[in-house]
Structure 1
Amino acid sequence: MPAPERIPSRGLTEAGLKTLLAQGELTVLGQVRGASNAVLYCTVAYEGEERPCVYKPVAGEQPLWDFPDGTLAQREVAAYELSEATGWGLVPPTVLREGPYGEGMCQLWIEADETAEESAADGGGVHGLPPLLGLVEDEEPGDGWKAVGFAEVGEGKTALLVHADDPRLRRLAVLDAVINNGDRKGGHLLPAPGGRLFGIDHGVTFNADDKLRTLLWGWAGEPLTAEAVEVLDALSAALEPGAALATRLGELITVVELDALRERVSGLRKSGRHPQPSGEWPAIPWPPV
């Protein structure tokens, strides 16, 4: 399986970026508005290197009744570790560290591709949504698109919500199924320069109960790709008790959640198909953006 192109790092390796995030000096520049928990935009500097980043202190998290154990910050880091184990590199470098407001998650800031944003504004998608998503008036998606479901668009009208039939999104759909992502919104998809796609905001993941809520249902019930099957086989081995990944995740999520993670991987390998909505939990997050 070919390795994805790494994050443009101006000379820093993935390990170097993690060292920068973990040991660098954090300077808070402002707050990202509109989030339900504290999200601080910062710079992090270490040994002459400086990068923008996001810092989410645990002290700024709102309690969630269905996630009583651990912290959202720990789950964000666990999602990064799992993403790295797939070899797909779908989550920006993320660490757990002390900061100006206590322990929290620190993640490399990814600038969205401005040309992709312009494409959305010019008709390549829906303004306010990544160009990988769209709304169409027809009852069926066009070529190159997958249907998610119908959405109200005002004045009693509905439109078909679609996402691109894109291998990057399909990889992310597999990752979300594995980590049991309860909040895959359109705003959590970041097309980056160079053709990379990142997913962010993974605080509500790894629940032992089925919580999968996503805009990426277009492949529901379809066979997994050969690449995805290969990745799931590798994850199964990496999650065996005593393996490095299992040990690391055991520091971030509960024993019950780790067992449930193993069961999800096993279930996907046995079915060989993308999961379908369970019907016991809202399938699409709200608001979808």
Structure 2
Amino acid sequence: MPVDALREGELTLIGQITHASNATLVCDATSDEETVRCVYKPVRGEQPLWDFPDGTLAGRECASYLVSEQLGWGVIPRTILRDGPFGPGMVQRWIDTPDRHGADLPSDDIVGLDLVDICPADEVPPGFFEILHATDMEGSNVALIHADDPRLQRMAVLDILINNADRKGGHALEGLDGSVYGVDHGICLHSENKLRTVLWGWAGREVPGALVSDIAELVDTLGEEFGERLAEHITPTEVAALRERAGALVEAPTMPRPNGSRPIPWPAF
């Protein structure tokens, strides 16, 4: 049988994402049959956090991927735990994205905006939500915005379920294949409410019925074998909290409103 390059191929270091909080390496995973570009985050490169146990971020990334797959949403690129040049860690398929700020954009493109972006405060285009206003380094008024896009809303619903504490704008990627992917899920699935996101545009709105149906099916599986599979990466208490969040969203399918003193991660990108 063909070798699974991402899981078993040799990892060759290509570069490093230097602005990431934890060690984040770009690699090629190579087998005899294929080469897959990927991101490798070794556990030994994780920075300690006051509210998440040390050495658990890679497992949380994998658990978040498993939830996305169990729902059938495909929001998170394939993510696994495996050994690598710097020890065990998370390995995730790399997502290539178009250059939406390049010179070769189609003429009907919305001023080259990304799904989550910043624009002048008085120039927010149709089809985008304003999340907050700020002043840039030159003293100009700008707005943090995100697209009113069902692909992005599905990601926002997933973030509610996995209790994502760090949905920055740069973590929402529009792939060349037309799908929208979320990355960086190391601080998710805590049992306490930690939701921090830039995707507040649908706050107070009803969750689409098709997504609610998927979540209802997830609730059932969390009490069975799938819950046991997640418990390999997160604690039983965190699995139970995930099931409680999912059940609550089925009972009252409304997107939450921001609460607490820090509903948006900072920096926002």
Q: TM-score normalised to the size of structure 1?
A: 0.85
Give the 5 Å matches for 1:206-225: 206-225=189-208
The question of whether the paired residues in 2 share the 8 Å contact of 1:111 and 1:192 is answered with: yes
Q: Across the two proteins, how many residue pairs are aligned to each other?
A: 264
Q: Distance in 1 between matches of 2:139 and 2:84?
A: 48
8 Å CA contact 1:70–1:254 kept in 2: the answer is: no
Deviation (angstroms), 1:186: 1.1
Residue 69 of structure 2 is matched in structure 1 by 84
Superposed counterparts of 1:31-50, under 5 Å: 31-50=16-35
Q: Find the residue that maps to 2:129 and give its secondary structure.
A: strand
Hey, what does 1:133 align to over in structure 2?
117
Q: Indicate how the Cα distance of structure 1 residues 131 and 271 shifts in structure 2: closer, same or farther if over 3 A, else same.
A: closer
Partners of 2:24 and 2:143 lie apart in 1 by 32
Q: Distance in 1 between matches of 2:55 and 2:146?
A: 33
Q: What do residues 59-99 of structure 1 show as CA deviations (whole Å, max 9, x unaligned)?
A: 00111110026511001111110111111101111100011
AA matched with 1:288:
A
Specify the SS of the correspondent of 1:198.
Answer: strand
Matched, 1:124 2:105: no
Q: 1:206 to 1:98 in 2, by over 3 A?
A: same
- The separation in 1 between residues aligned to 2:132 and 2:21, in whole angstroms, is 26
* Partner residue of 1:151 out of 112, 134, 147: 134
Q: Does 1:245 align with 2:232?
A: no
Other structure's SS at 1:210 match: coil
The alignment-based identity, stated in percent, is: 47
Tell whether 2:241 aligns with 1:260: yes
Counterparts of 2:69 and 2:101, CA distance in 1 = 27
Measure how far apart 1:21 and its partner are: 1.3
Q: Show CA shifts across 1:86-134 (max 9, x none).
A: 11101111100011111100111111123x34359x86255xxx34434
Gaps spanning 5+ residues in structure 2: where? Answer: none
Hey, which of these two has a bigger chunk of helix by percent? 1
Q: Is 1:51 paired with 2:36?
A: yes
Alignment of 1:182 with 2:165, yes or no, is yes
Please provide the CA RMSD for this pair. 2.1
Q: Distance in 2 between matches of 1:138 and 1:117?
A: 20
Please tell me the residue identity of whatever aligns with 2:5: L
1: distance between equivalents of 2:212 and 2:50?
A: 34
Q: Deviations over 1:203-251 (max 9, x none)?
A: 01011111111110000111111111111111111211xx232111110
Match of 1:3 in 2: none
Is residue 2:151 matched to residue 1:168?
yes
CA contact (8 A) 1:124 1:131 kept: no
Contact 1:31 1:40 in 2 (8 A): yes
| Stretch moving more, 76-85 or 23-32 | 23-32
1:252–1:117 CA distance, 2 compared to 1 (3 A): farther
Q: Structure 1: 5+ residue runs without aligned partners?
A: 1-15
Write the distance in 2 (CA, Å) between the matches of 1:78 and 1:190: 20
Distance 1:131 1:178 in 2: 21
Distance 1:142 1:34, change over 3 A: closer
Q: CA deviation at 1:31?
A: 1.5
Contact 2:128 2:148 in 1 (8 A): yes
Aligned to 1:8: none
Structure 2: distance between partners of 1:136 and 1:272: 33
Whether the 8 Å CA contact 2:215–2:246 is kept in 1: the answer is: yes
Instruction: Say yes or no: does 1:283 pair with 2:266.
Output: no
Q: In structure 1, what is the Cα distance between the partners aligned to 2:247 and 2:87?
A: 37
Post-superposition Cα deviations, 1:170-194, rounded to whole Å, max 9, x if no partner, equal: 0000001100111111111111112
